[in-house]
């Protein structure tokens, strides 16, 4: 796993470590790591033109000391002071190495630089950048030079990824000790470029992480063994589709089939059932209408998926209500989520469940569930995913440019796979069926949601990039690539 810690925990770990080290040791470690990465990015250090953007905090100090190390190797280094003061020790080191400090209006230096280091603000920065910081951030982001952010791009909230106004768009971000959530969660993640982690010795002083991102060997979906049969592998029930949205039924059911379920029981109206029967003859299908025994008519399952393409109205609400009243894990998506957002009775049923429930909203659906603006969700994805997990009593998979999986009192999972080409109709239906299969196979809700998101994103990458360069894909392409995604796991 890749671990990320919020700023207050990083600060506490730094203080604990500094208490055991000689004064200045931690900053020296950070500066050395930053300078080493910058040196690798330059064709050669000797004669290179390096510009430092420095504020008055510790990140400005790290940047100045790193600049001094580069200057000693023959780089021409100048620092533009954004604040009324700079780190005195760092400034003295830079001058001693032959570097210069210039006022913030010397922005022409940025345009002719080979490399720019952003040390305007640090991990404690929040809110929009003020002047002259904002002007320097814009100028550096637009310049041809390689732009390296020190610890976090200035203007990005390190703990949340929120960006309030102007922020640096780095090519590389060199972060110290541990990742910060804002480096791996959008919109902040989109400002970071490649993230390089420098070990400065914080490990023993860091508590449990706030956010984690999986690596390939962390994803462990259920695998059949010699004693497996279709029932032991998991039976998933899918209630999806309608006369208006029959395709969602085909995609969700197909993803459950290809996601490893031992059996898929599918139920819907006659049209959706006929399409699923034709496309996926291995499914067990049934035409149903809402009623007190609707789930019994479909048959026993180990998990339910309800909502994709279900449509609106009383029929959808009745089917969602029946599923929420069941005693097995449930995944609610799409029109199922909209039904919950409209109905106080369904919201109460959701809160009363004592077995796992996974909700898979996009930002608009989560906005309706939480009764906030969609823009607020997009701006502070981490905050709202956590809030939803608490208020709705469920595991919440928030889809989007950064997919998050939140559960009460657990580190938030950040999905590292995917492609922008996933933003196309039907891919969410595929994700629902895939996660439902993993739930039916016995995975815990948080693990199933995180593994499903990982495999879904990986399938999209494989489908989009089979010829080396990514190309447009459809939901059907993602569905077909699910087995390939499973094969890539160690």
- Which amino acids are annotated as binding site for (6S)-NADPHX, given as ranges? 58-62, 122-128, 151, 248, 309, 362, 429
Helix axes 475-487, 445-464, angle to 10 degrees: 110
Rounded distance, CA 74 to CA 42, Å?
A: 12
- Look up residue 130 and give its DSSP letter: P
Instruction: Give residues with Cβ within 8 angstroms of 155, minimum separation 6.
Output: 121, 125, 128, 129, 134, 137, 163, 164, 165, 166, 167, 168, 191
Are the beta carbons of 434 and 455 closer than 8 angstroms? yes
Rounded distance, CA 384 to CA 376, Å?
A: 8
Rounded distance, CA 160 to CA 132, Å?
A: 24
The annotation places the binding site at 58-62, 118, 122-128, 151, 154, 248, 309, 362, 399-403, 428-429
Rounded distance, CA 259 to CA 261, Å?
A: 6
Rounded distance, CA 243 to CA 414, Å?
A: 35
Are the beta carbons of 362 and 319 closer than 8 angstroms? no
CA dist 446 → 249, 260, 358, 377, 455 (Å): 24, 18, 8, 21, 14
Q: Tokens 């009363």 — which residue?
A: 352
Rounded distance, CA 270 to CA 273, Å?
A: 5
In a 10 Å sphere around its CB, with 0-12 CB exposed, 13-18 middle and 19+ buried, how is residue 283 labelled?
Answer: buried
- Phi (first) and psi of residue 69, to 5 degrees: -65, -40
The annotation places the binding site for AMP at 399-403, 428
Structural tokens at position 93 = 């080191």
Rounded distance, CA 357 to CA 360, Å?
A: 10
Nearest Cα to Cα of residue 385 among 367, 406, 399: 406
The annotation places the binding site for K(+) at 59, 118, 154
In a 10 Å sphere around its CB, with 0-12 CB exposed, 13-18 middle and 19+ buried, how is residue 242 labelled?
Answer: buried
Rounded distance, CA 115 to CA 170, Å?
A: 11
């Amino acid at each position: 796993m890749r671990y990320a810690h919020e700023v207050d925990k990083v600060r506490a770990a730094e203080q604990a470590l500094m208490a055991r080290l000689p004064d200045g040791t931690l900053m020296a470690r950070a500066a050395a790591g930053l300078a080493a990465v910058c040196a690798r990015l330059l064709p050669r250090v000797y004669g290179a033109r390096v510009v430092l953007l420095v504020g008055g905090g510790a990140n400005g100090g790290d940047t100045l000391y790193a600049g001094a190390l580069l200057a000693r190797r023959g780089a021409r280094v100048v620092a533009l002071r954004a604040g009324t003061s700079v780190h005195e020790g760092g400034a003295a080191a830079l001058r001693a190495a032959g570097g210069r400090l210039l006022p913030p209006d010397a922005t022409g230096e940025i345009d002719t630089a080979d490399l720019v280091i952003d040390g305007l603000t640090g991990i404690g920065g929040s809110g929009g950048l003020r002047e002259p910081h904002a002007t320097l951030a814009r100028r550096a982001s637009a310049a041809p030079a390689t732009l390296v952010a020190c610890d976090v791009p200035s203007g990005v909230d390190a703990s949340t990824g929120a960006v309030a106004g102007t922020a640096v768009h780095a090519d590389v971000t060199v972060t110290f000790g541990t990742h910060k959530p804002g480096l791996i969660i959008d919109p902040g993640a989109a400002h970071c470029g490649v993230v390089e982690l420098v070990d400065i010795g914080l490990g023993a002083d860091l508590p449990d992480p706030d956010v984690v991102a999986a690596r390939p060997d962390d994803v462990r979906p259920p695998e059949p063994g010699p004693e497996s049969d279709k029932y032991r592998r998991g039976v998933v029930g899918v209630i999806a589709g309608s006369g208006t949205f029959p395709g969602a039924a085909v995609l969700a059911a197909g993803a459950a089939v290809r996601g490893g379920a031992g059996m898929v029981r599918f139920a819907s109206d006659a049209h959706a059932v006929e399409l699923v029967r034709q496309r996926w003859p291995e499914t067990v299908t049934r035409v149903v209408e809402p009623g007190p025994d609707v789930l019994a008519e479909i048959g026993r399952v180990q998990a339910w998926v309800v909502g994709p393409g279900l449509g609106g109205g009383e029929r959808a609400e009745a089917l969602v209500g029946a599923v929420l009243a069941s005693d097995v894990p449930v995944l609610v998506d799409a029109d199922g989520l909209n039904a919950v957002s409209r109905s106080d009775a369904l919201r109460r049923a959701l809160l009363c469940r004592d077995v796992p429930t996974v909700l898979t909203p996009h930002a608009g659906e989560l906005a309706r569930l939480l009764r906030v603006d969609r823009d607020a969700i997009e701006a502070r994805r981490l905050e709202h995913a956590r809030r939803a997990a608490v208020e709705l009593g469920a595991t919440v998979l928030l889809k989007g440019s950064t997919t998050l999986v939140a559960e009460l009192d657990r580190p938030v999972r950040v999905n590292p796979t995917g492609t922008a080409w996933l933003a196309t109709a039907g891919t969410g239906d595929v994700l629902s069926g895939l996660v439902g299969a993993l739930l039916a196979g016995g995975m815990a809700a948080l693990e199933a949601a995180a593994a499903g998101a990982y495999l879904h994103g990986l399938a999209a990458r494989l489908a989009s990039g089979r010829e080396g360069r990514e190309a447009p894909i459809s939901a059907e392409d993602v569905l077909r690539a699910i087995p390939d995604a499973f094969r890539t796991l160690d």
